[in-house]
Chain A
Amino acid sequence: MTETTVQHYVCISCPIGCPLRLVHEGDQILEIEGQECNRGAKYARQEFTDPRRTFSTTVPITGALYGRLPVKLSAPLPRPAIPAAMEAIRQLSAEAPVRLGQVLLRDVAGVAGVDVVSCRTMDRVTM
């Protein structure tokens, strides 16, 4: 028999930031309270079952106006995969020209369908 446990979240769906309380027994959600609208419940459920995050960073680029190329994930990753993704991106580098949306790494951290893509066009410049 598992015990009933409580998780606390702050809803990020709007600036009100409702303090949410999610009661669960093992994997089973028993109750969600504290939300002023139903986006809160949806948020708490997602955070409890499969929290996902996305982030942007940069990779070094040569032959461009600046030394760094901004990149992002094409979709959110499961939260635990973030450090591995960051480490994988740390190994990347690019050479100008790069187009907006160009894929630099597929299936980052082994998550199918989540790619590292360029956030801008960087032309080749002659110094």
Chain B
Amino acid sequence: MRPATDTGRDGVDMYDVAILGGGVVGCAIARELSRYHLRCVLLERFAEVGFGTTKTNSGIIHAGQQTMPGTLKGLLEVRGNAMFDRLQRELGFGFRRCGELVVASNDEELASLAKMKADGEAKGVPGLEMWDAARLRREEPNLSHHLTGALFAPSAGVINPYEFAFALAECALRNGVEVRLEHEVAAIAPRPGGGFVITSTGPGVPAGAPPVEARFVVNAAGVHADQVAALVGADDFSIRPRRGEEYMLDRRLEGIVTRLIFPVPTPASKGILIIPTYDGTIMVGPTAHDQDDRFDVPTTVEGSEEVFAAVRRLCPSLDPRATIAEFAGLRAVSSSGDFIIGPSRVPGFFNVAGIQSPGLTASPAIAVHVTELLGRAGLPLVARDDFEPSVAPPARFAQRTHEERQALVAAQPLFGRLVCRCELVTEAEVHEAVDHGARTLDGVKFRTRAGMGRCQGGFCTSRVMRILADRLGVPFHEVTKRGAGSWMVLPMEPAGEGPEARKEGAPCSDA
């Protein structure tokens, strides 16, 4: 049974909920709401979901022992962690519970690990163990011999955060949520009779499209959440972006550590870590530096020096020369220091803001929590019996056995055509990525790993662009790296036109 929905102005159907922001939090909320008989829309400013902070996340599912007891984030973190096995089965993203070690190098640090263990156990973190130096050396022989012990948390894991966001959004979409990409929220006005009128701008907004009208708004706009809240005066908080740089190292180093390696945390940050990613590469970082700009995410010389100095103290053989890629992302740090989740002073407008670490771990628990709060505020939560929790997982040809690969090629010859040699990605997988929503080079890269390996797209870029052009029905030169403005190439002028002719109407103008 579906409750009747209001009809908005001009006969436009009104949404029950509009979710602003398609990061991992917005996508998790969208999927959670799609379990119910509701009409929901998700607005995302970028060309694909997960392209903001989510894409640059360290990809850790925290055990929970490191977070301050008594905080909302501490509660949702432990709850969220426990949800990932089932989510992984349903959504097929890359996730592995590899466990984490917080390592100490002196007695003072060992003492704080003991306290962390007690705090963690009080919060319900399972399986915590103190390891002495001998045990640590036996389990992780490549770590520094100066380390004196560690706290082992078996429930921590590594995840591909972008795959998680893509799968959440795809699942939400399958269950009826509308996902509107390249929609940047420009204005939110109260709607006479209740609810909100949301006006968007951006390349994805069709000319003359009516604004979105919704009873409830969930603001999951990440580093922009305070600005979005300010559009309706619900900004009793502020967001300060905290930039983190990460360095991805060559697959050759696979196995140098087998668990997440953390230093003993400071109040500001969990420190700079060694992350054995789901895909077998080693990632080191992140730094933590506050900044004002909400878009500029450069890596820096200082950042790289800071990261390698820190991780080489933990694992001396990590070599900066093994770097294959570097990137930076922005954490949304709220003025309260904790997550800000719930109704704002504007009725019907919910903030889900300040979701910095452990936001990824907490995200599925946040989604459940937000849904409950919306229900308490009057959103009718009538469960659908046709909710489909699963999406098809990617083929991951590279990770298959010889026999499995044979079966895949036999069923679909495009599995026999290699696109990315470094990561062994086949043409069939690129098509599959497009089927699952990829619209840009980065969208393909983050779904298939084509271009993520050591040659960084030198071999596969033009092949992927060719497939995208065919599938999207656009000319080759209109394929972008990650949406409007990120054009890749220009066409050569046809015979008879000089270089000057090309300059008119090219995708980008010289500013």
Contacts and interface: CB of A to CB of B under 8 A. Distances in A.
B495 interface: yes
Interface residues of A, number: 6
B313 to A, nearest CB: 45
Nearest to B497: A90
Interface of B: 492-496, 498
B150 to A, nearest CB: 56
Nearest to A93: B495
12 contacts: A60-B492, A60-B494, A60-B495, A87-B498, A90-B493, A90-B495, A90-B496, A90-B498, A91-B495, A91-B496, A92-B495, A93-B495
Interface string A71-101: 0000000000000000100111100000000
A120 B498 CA distance: 26
Nearest to A68: B492
A90 B493 CA distance: 9
Contacts, number: 12
A60 B498 CA distance: 15
6 interchain residue pairs of minimum CB distance? A91-B495, A93-B495, A91-B496, A90-B495, A60-B495, A92-B495
A90 B494 CA distance: 8
A93 B495 CA distance: 7
A92 B495 CA distance: 7
A32 B496 CA distance: 44
Given A60-B495, A90-B496, A91-B495, 5 more contacts: A60-B492, A60-B494, A87-B498, A90-B495, A91-B496
Contacts of B493: 90
A90 B495 CA distance: 6
Contacts of A87: 498
A92 B496 CA distance: 9
A14 to B, nearest CB: 32
B494 to A, nearest CB: 8
Nearest to A92: B495
B94 to A, nearest CB: 36
Contacts of A90: 493, 495-496, 498
A93 B493 CA distance: 12
Contacts of B495: 60, 90-93
A60 B494 CA distance: 8
A87 B498 CA distance: 8
A91 B496 CA distance: 5
A60 B495 CA distance: 8
Nearest to B493: A90
Contacts of B498: 87, 90
Contacts of B492: 60
A88 B492 CA distance: 15
Interface in A32-61: 60
Contacts of A92: 495
